[in-house]
Structure 1
């Protein structure tokens, strides 16, 4: 295992250790909150063509202060135990920050998913799920997986189906995994959730006039320039929503094949279509292209907001001093090493930390879990009632003013909320509340110099209250 791979877990530990003294909590309690409670490593055979491959996989349950535990499953040939432990640890703190009642968990399967056919991936996914079931590491009240890097709704549907095969009598079986397709008991808005949460978090941070003044920026997100590293699920939705709803100008993008830059702006919809047609973002019309070898130079582009939305350890001591962005929004998990963060903070950058900013996924996963437990679609009970109520109010307005409301406006104003409206509204409220909570700690505590430390303090304090309620710690 390389030093860089180990440093991700070490960075998470460093961040925890930096925040812990500000809480005043018992050292034993802090140690319990910090450590991973349960770790399994499994090896299982899968027949691929005429060969039998032995697959290495992990599931880590970091904290059981609340049940079930919750966290995604990633498929990557870079998966290792320390990476999964770091991701599970972050999940615990993410859940606490956004007040989602889960402990943190994470899973990883050490494969390159792009080297396998859909049928082969299904075999691997179902076998991995079987291993989790046999070890009691999955279930609606035990541990609830979700998508992560290299997985999506398709894999979650396979997990759900496999679980039902073993636990067909379980009434709440659909709640064993989230991120499922909508027609397989998923929830509308889950696919975009992490990227939309990133947008809401950036927008709220940019709304504070005092913080923006210190950065030399005007308040508000509209018109700000953004560079995005990674056009996977999180990066693409962050880009689309920031551009379409926030009026942000995307000027730089990188992917595995290279990077592009255009100070006049890049239409993200056209770029995604261009990549779909050509297989690459390179040579996008009007933009300057950078080769695969120099794709990390995207971190050094002049912009207001840099969004690392790929993997961990992207900003290190090697390149931190060349980062020109005034706001670094961690859409990925652990994109900045703890050593590099000090360089950025000393340079006056505002870092929106991962354990807050990309918590949109687990927030909407929580909504899906609740939907599966309640066995009812959001909005089904009150959508029509609300619509009739709003219609009646508009009728009274027309009668008292003598003016007619045109049909288009009436339909817009009187429309009852659909499931996706409620999901987005709940996510928006969650991200706004969480940001202001951690910002208040940041500004109130004199020796807390950054939002990440404030976020860890917030999470540790919330988790500690659960442990202290058990009477184990003073």
Structure 2
């Protein structure tokens, strides 16, 4: 995930470049487009924290990119590579991402410039709590203002510290739990958040593979079953994406990690690879698979679907021409450089853009936020009612047909929806509906040549209309 400062700038510039390219295909005048593009509020703070016997001055950021809808929404990352340019780029992407998947948030992002591995849990807690108090002082956090979430280097642990600090500083805020998402379930988190991004990747690619016309152009059949898949990165997103493709009947032919890559054209058993990884500390030398000590070689192996789910800029001008995949699903943020994007498009590869495909996390964060505001667990009101209604249906079927429903059939039919069922269902509906909107623009809007541009156009259309309806442009 590490970047040099210059690459951060190019990442920011590539976001702006993609925006400008898409903006030409919309009806909005320059004033509205400039407002959509601009970062509305940027907070840069430095605060002292006592670490051991000395005092360290910590640098941190929070960017609110757009206020066309509130609250703002976006993760907080802990990394030495955090700087203003990177946080601004990621906040802008969050604005567009939320618009694409119809989540009513503006984009935000935060970062603390530290190497979290160098600190104890107690020291990280002190830093996180102090950062939260700075956000509170500057009015950069709150259920209706700005709602952070986990990102690179952070997890539900840090989110529990944030919600506790916010609640202690705002004792009369009934909705304090909604000030942050990605929390532990015991602290108001939602079931299904952990796998949300990886599952969203699966739903998005599966939907892209459902269109006969598009698959015919690629020389593929519809559906994911039987398709050869390579996944780069076995972190939270990559692992869950691989897991759902594997369970969905796809053939997992390649896996790539930081220490190398493995490939087996007959398919890999994901659980066996994970067990091997735990025993040996890496995926290399997995029995029956070809091993590559250079991870980049794994990207270039034959497959139908390639899922880069780890680092930025792993597909670039030097290796884009060697990519053999027919579909690339961007599970990571910015895994393809602008130069590589042009090469891949010319080759006829279908690139499903990150700005849509990895929006599963923010979609389920939205569900968590709604849960916190309603103060009711999903499924609590309807689960038992649904089961009782299904029981009545079974009784009617049995009495009408004279046939007994088997125990397995009974269990399957009677199960009322739990929280995780409803969350997964909502995520699936979101990814299917949003892909349809993007594809409609791609197929029918003149001048839109790829799905990435279509996704940006989709976002700009929705945000532009929101600004027009706010009536702030007399």
**TM-score, structure 2 length as denominator?**
0.97
CA contact (8 A) 1:226 1:252 kept: yes
User: Is 1:56 the counterpart of 2:59 in the alignment?
Assistant: yes
Q: CA deviation at 1:272?
A: 2.2
Residues 157 and 180 in structure 1, CA contact (< 8 A), matched pair in contact too: yes
Q: Which runs of 5+ in 2 are unaligned?
A: none
Query: Are the aligned partners of 1:7 and 1:337 in contact in 2 as well (CA < 8 Å)?
Result: no
Whole-Å separation in 1 of the counterparts to 2:138 and 2:337: 34
Could you tell me how far 1:42 is from its partner in structure 2? 1.8
| Aligned residues of 1:12 and 1:90 also touching (Cα < 8 A) | yes
Which residue number in structure 1 is paired with residue 115 of structure 2? 112
Counterpart Cα distance in 2 of 1:44 and 1:314: 35
Shift of 1:169: 1.9
Give runs of aligned pairs for residues 63-212 of structure 1, distance below 5 A.
63-212=66-215
Other-structure match for 2:249: 247
1:277 correspondence with 2:279: yes
Q: Equivalents in 1 of 2:53, 2:319: separation in Å?
A: 45
Cα gap change, 1:42 to 1:227, in 2 (>3 Å): same
Q: What is aligned with 2:306? A: 306
Question: Is the contact made by 1:70 and 1:91 (CA closer than 8 Å) also made in structure 2?
Answer: yes
1:350 maps to 350
1:268 aligns with 2:261: no
Partner Cα separation in structure 1 for residue 229 and residue 55 of structure 2: 46
- Please give the alpha-carbon distance, in whole angstroms, between the structure 1 residues aligned to 2:188 and 2:447: 46
- Which stretch has the larger CA shift, 192-201 or 159-168? 159-168
Cα distance, 1:316 vs structure 2: 1.6
Q: Is the 8 A contact 1:258 1:295 kept in 2?
A: yes
| Secondary structure at the counterpart of residue 216 of structure 2 | helix
Contact residue 34 and residue 89 of structure 1 kept, 8 A: yes
Residue 93 of structure 2 aligns to a residue in which SS? Answer: helix
Alignment of 1:423-462 (within 5 A): 423-462=423-462
SS, match of residue 194 in structure 1? helix
- When the two structures are aligned, how many residues end up with a matched partner? 471
- Could you list the per-position Cα deviations for residues 81-113 of structure 1 after superposition, in whole angstroms to 9, with x for gaps in the alignment? 111111111100111011110000011122232
Pair 1:290 & 2:310 matched? no
| Deviation larger for 24-33 or 46-55 | 46-55
Check conservation: 2:5, 2:81, Cα contact below 8 A.
no
Q: Distance in 2 between matches of 1:14 and 1:315?
A: 18
Give the alignment partner of residue 29 of structure 1, picking from 15, 27, 32: 32
| CA offset digits 1:28-84 (Å, max 9, x no partner) | 000100111111222223333334332222111100000000001112222221111
Per the alignment, residue 236 of structure 1 pairs with 239
In the other structure, the counterpart of 1:385 is: 385
**For 1:89 and 1:110, how far apart are their aligned partners in 2?**
20
Return structure 1 stretches of 4+ with deviation > 4 angstroms. none
Using a 3 Å threshold, how does the CA distance of structure 1 residues 326 and 471 change in structure 2: closer, same or farther? same
SS in structure 1 at match of 2:168: helix
Q: Deviation at 1:473?
A: 3.2
Per-residue displacement from partner, 1:436-471 (whole Å, max 9, x unpaired)? 111011001232111111111111111111110122
CA distance in 2, matches of 1:279, 1:109: 29
Unaligned runs of 5+ in 1: none
The whole-number CA distance in structure 2 between the counterparts of 1:413 and 1:333 is 40
Aligned residues of 1:26 and 1:473 also touching (Cα < 8 A): no
Q: Which moved more, 1:146-155 or 1:275-284?
A: 275-284
Greater shift in the superposed pair: 416-425 or 35-44: 35-44
The Cα shift of 1:303 comes to: 0.9
Question: What is the Cα-based RMSD across aligned positions, in Å?
Answer: 1.4
State the match for 2:375 in structure 1: 375
- Give yes or no for contact 2:25–2:446 (8 Å, CA) kept in 1: no
Distance 1:51 1:422, change over 3 A: same
Q: 422-431 or 127-136, which moves further after superposition?
A: 127-136
Task: Judge conservation of contact 1:4–1:313 (CA < 8 Å) in 2.
Answer: no
* Cα distance between partner residues in 1 of 2:138 and 2:275: 43
